[in-house]
Structure 1
Amino acid sequence: MAEFVLVAGAWLGAWAWDAVAPELRAAGHGVHPVTLSGLAERRGVPAGQQTHVRDIVDEIERRDLRDVVLVGHSYSGIPAGQAAERIGDRLRRVVFLDSNVPHDGESFVSVWPPFGERVRAAITANDGFWPPLTAEDYAGQGLTDEQIQRIVADSTPHPGATLTEPATLARPLGELPATYVKCLLDGDEPTPDVAALLKSDRWRLVEMDTGHWPMFSQPSELARILLDAADA
């Protein structure tokens, strides 16, 4: 039995996994969706980048989880990648779900300067938070109108410090047992930094023919991929 620890990306909370978690549990595994500090029901809790790393590590250690399959979606690949390193032999595999990956000494906004500068400007203009996307931003991502409405309604502003503070890694990320899930409606190829990591014999690439939020658009297919990753 694996223990799945599920961490959704910016603006989202544990609720984002509502359609995926039951399928993993039905297969006999433990499932632990995490809401990071400052988001969803934890809105108002101060958070920086390392706060989010601790949120994940604390969840795993508090529950004394072993054989952990740690899933980080989108932004949350950055804290999940750091947490995967820190939990040592508790980790079975880390899954980066169409996500960013951490770079030692770099932040979410520093790795891709043009996009990062737009995010930084949005944080400055919104009292230290990255505002959620609008319904129009989700077009072309394989989502129904109802799915988009739910995401927009339940999203919360994302704490800006988590995006501007640097990641800290003690060893190369390519040494971790990892699966990278690329969602093809969000781009045909992994980013160059991910492509470099995929050269490691410990990393595997899986593609999904859907958009950037597969926990909503294709939850059953995503659950199947996560179950396969647990057995990799």
Structure 2
Amino acid sequence: MTDYVLVAGAWLGAWAWDDVVPELRAAGHGAHALTLSGLAEKQGVPAGQQTHVQDIVGEVERLGLRDVVLVGHSYSGIPVGQAAERIGDRLARVVFVDAGVPAHGESMASAWWQGQAAFEAALAGNDGYWAPLTAPECEGQGLTEEQIARFVGGSTPHPGASLTEPAVLERSLGELPATYVKCLLDGDEPSDDVAELLKSEHWRLVEMDTGHWPMFSQPRELALVLMQDL
């Protein structure tokens, strides 16, 4: 049995994996969806990026898990990538689902496509939080109207400190066993930093013909992808 620890991206909590968890458990695996500090039912808890890293490491330790597949979606690839390094021989594999990957000394804000200043200005204009997406901003990602309504209705503001604090890595992510899941409706090619990591013999690329939130749009297919490397 493999134990999966599932961490959704910005604005989302453990609830985002509700359609994926039963698929993994039906196949005989452990599935543990995690809400990061400051989000969903943990709103109001102060949270920087290292808080989120510790949330993930702490969950693995609290549950006494071994042979762990850490799954990070979107923003959560950044803390998940750091946690994967820190759990040592408990790690079986890390899976980045259309995710950012951490780079030592860098943050999500520092890699933002419009520049760090623009990103930080947006946070400052929303009391230090990243505002959730609206329904029109979710279009074109393979989601039904019902799925968009579920996503928007469940989203909560994302704590800005987790997006601006730098990542801390002791070694290259290329040394970790990893799968990168590229969702093609969100762009045909991985980002340059991911493409470089995919040159590692320890990394593999999987493509899904859906949008940025496959846990909503294709939960069964995503579960099958997560189980491919076992």
Q: TM-score range by the shorter chain?
A: over 0.9
Instruction: Tell me if 1:34 matches 2:29.
Output: no
> What are the equivalent positions in structure 2 for 1:180-195 lying under 5 Å apart?
180-195=180-195
Q: How far did residue 72 of structure 1 move?
A: 0.2
Pair 1:200 & 2:205 matched: no
**CA–CA separation in structure 2 for the residues paired with 1:116 and 1:146:** 34
Identity of aligned residues (%): 73
One-letter identity of the residue aligned with 1:68: V
**Which one is further off, 104-113 or 195-204?**
104-113
* Per-residue deviation, 1:116: 3.8
Corresponding residue for residue 144 of structure 1: 144
Aligned-CA RMSD value: 0.8
Tell me the CA shift for residue 115 of structure 1: 4.9
Paired residue secondary structure (1:4): strand
Deviation track 1:81-140 (CA, whole Å, cap 9, x = no partner) reads 000000000000000000000000001010235254332121100111000000000000
Residue number in structure 2 paired with 1:212: 212
| Distance across 1 between alignment mates of 2:99 and 2:171 | 19
Residues of 2 paired with 1:188 and 1:162: CA distance?
27
Tell me which residue corresponds to 1:88. 88
User: What is the alpha-carbon distance in structure 1 between the residues aligned to residue 67 and residue 119 of structure 2?
Assistant: 36
Task: Return the letter of the residue paired with 1:160.
Answer: G
Distance in structure 2 (CA, Å) of the matches to 1:137 and 1:157: 15
1:124-177 deviations in Å (ceiling 9; x for gaps): 001110000000000000000000001101100000000000000000010000
Amino acid across the alignment from 2:49 = Q
Aligned length: 230
Q: What amino acid does structure 1 have at the position aligned with 2:13?
A: G
How is 1:62-77 mapped onto 2 (pairs within 5 angstroms)?
62-77=62-77
Task: List gaps (5 residues or longer) in structure 1.
Answer: none
Find the residue that maps to 1:170 and give its secondary structure: coil
Q: 1:125 and 2:125 equivalent?
A: yes
1:161 equivalent in structure 2: 161
Q: Which runs of 4+ in 1 moved over 2 A?
A: 115-119
SS in 2 for 1:57: helix
